């Protein structure tokens, strides 16, 4: 039913992503960025997408290439502007891209809420700033809070270090970042991993994303061997 499938090609990994989908994309800068899956999504052709990610693309590859291909309607992120975010900058300035800027912690917590079945939460971040304008506010125990709603994904594309056949994932160092949260917040979670190991080879105490949150796994090392063989 919901057990993770190990897929054998990037095309299979992103198959079925519909036009108009909300896609959560992991990574903080390049760390944890699911580059192969993003390239496959460009190839796949889904358009009118809402992309939720910390940044909005660098240079000409990855998310920037997806934006450049005109597939994205809206970006929800914390930090679109970077020294090499010229693709985003151009589209945004020409009015071709909608932008919702969200404080980084709210971005994470709103996705966490989606995954955790929380309807909304009162958050102290951003109170009194332009990003709280128009939002419901409440004072609780003398402190001011803004009401924040969940961000749900139709799909999550994330990068991880290792998967086992159950779909359990572990990450590596700060490449962990948004992956574990996004995995819980999407209807279908697709992970690219650097390696897969046998059942029982991930320490149950050290699992970061339990397999219940993972639907498809693309093993980049297997992909590399295929390419060498062909």
Partner 1 sequence: MSIAVAATQTIEHLDRGPLSKDELAALVARDIPQGSYVNLGIGQPTMVADHLGADSGIVLHTENGMLGMGRAARDEEVDPDLTNAGKIPVTELPGAAYFHHADSFAMMRGGHLDVCVLGAFQVSAAGDLANWHTGAPDAIPAVGGAMDLAIGAKDVFVMMTLFAKDGSPKLVPRCTYPLTGVDCVSRVYTDRALFLVGTEGATVVETFGMSMEELDERLDIELHTL
Which residues make up the interface to its own copies (CB under 8 A)?
A: 109, 113, 116-124, 138, 140-141, 143, 145, 149, 170-173, 203-206, 208
- The piece of 9-17, 35-43, 171-179, 219-227 that touches partner 1 (CB under 8 A) is 171-179
**3-state class of 224 per DSSP?**
helix
Letters for 87-106 (x = contact with partner 1 by CB under 8 A, - = none) are -xx--xx-----x-xxxxxx
Q: Which residue has the tokens 């994303």?
A: 209
Q: How far is the CB of 187 from its own copies (least distance, A)?
A: 15
Please choose which of partner 1, its own copies, none residue 3 contacts, taking the beta carbon within 5 to 8 angstroms, the exact cut-off set by kind: partner 1
Q: How far is the CB of 75 from partner 1 (least distance, A)?
A: 11
Q: Are 218 and 193 in contact (CB under 8 A)?
A: yes
Q: Which residue has the tokens 């992909």?
A: 223
147 vs 138: CA distance, rounded Å: 8
The single residue among 95, 117, 134, 142 that binds partner 1, judged by CB under 8 A, is 117
Please choose which of its own copies, partner 1, none residue 120 contacts, taking the beta carbon within 5 to 8 angstroms, the exact cut-off set by kind: its own copies
Which residue number, 79 or 149, has a Cβ lying nearer to partner 1? 79
121 vs 103: CA distance, rounded Å: 15
Contacts of 175 (CB under 8 A, 6+ apart): 27, 31, 32, 159, 161
Q: Does 216 bind partner 1 (CB under 8 A)?
A: no
Q: Are 189 and 183 in contact (CB under 8 A)?
A: yes
Please choose which of its own copies, partner 1, none residue 210 contacts, taking the beta carbon within 5 to 8 angstroms, the exact cut-off set by kind: partner 1
Q: Does 130 bind partner 1 (CB under 8 A)?
A: yes
The single residue among 190, 211, 217, 218 that binds partner 1, judged by CB under 8 A, is 211
Q: Is the dihedral of CA 48, 114, 107, 28 positive or negative?
A: negative
Please choose which of partner 1, its own copies, none residue 179 contacts, taking the beta carbon within 5 to 8 angstroms, the exact cut-off set by kind: partner 1
Query: CA 76, 78, 79: angle at the middle one, nearest 5?
Result: 110
- Among 144, 146, 150, which residue's Cα sits nearest to residue 136? 146
Which residue number, 129 or 226, has a Cβ lying nearer to partner 1? 129
């Amino acid at each position: 039913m919901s057990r993770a499938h190990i897929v054998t090609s990037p095309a299979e990994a992103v198959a079925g992503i519909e036009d108009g989908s909300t896609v959560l994309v992991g990574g903080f800068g390049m760390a944890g960025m699911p580059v192969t899956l993003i390239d496959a999504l460009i190839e796949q052709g889904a358009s009118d997408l809402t992309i939720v990610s910390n940044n909005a693309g660098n240079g000409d590859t990855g998310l920037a290439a997806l934006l450049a291909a005109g597939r994205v309607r809206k970006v929800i992120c914390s930090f679109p502007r970077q020294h090499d975010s010229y693709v985003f900058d151009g589209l945004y300035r020409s009015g071709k891209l909608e932008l919702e800027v969200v404080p980084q912690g709210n971005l994470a917590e709103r996705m966490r809420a989606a995954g955790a079945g929380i309807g909304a939460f009162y958050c102290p971040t951003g109170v009194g700033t332009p990003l709280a304008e128009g939002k419901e506010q409440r004072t609780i125990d003398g402190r001011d809070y803004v009401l924040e709603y969940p961000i749900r994904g139709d799909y999550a594309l994330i990068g991880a270090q290792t998967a086992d056949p159950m779909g359990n994932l572990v990450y590596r160092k700060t490449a962990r970042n948004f992956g574990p949260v996004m995995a819980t917040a999407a209807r279908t979670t697709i992970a690219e991993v650097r390696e897969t190991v046998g059942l029982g080879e991930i320490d149950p105490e050290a699992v970061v994303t339990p397999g219940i949150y993972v639907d498809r796994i693309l093993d980049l090392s297997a992909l590399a061997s295929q390419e060498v063989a062909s």
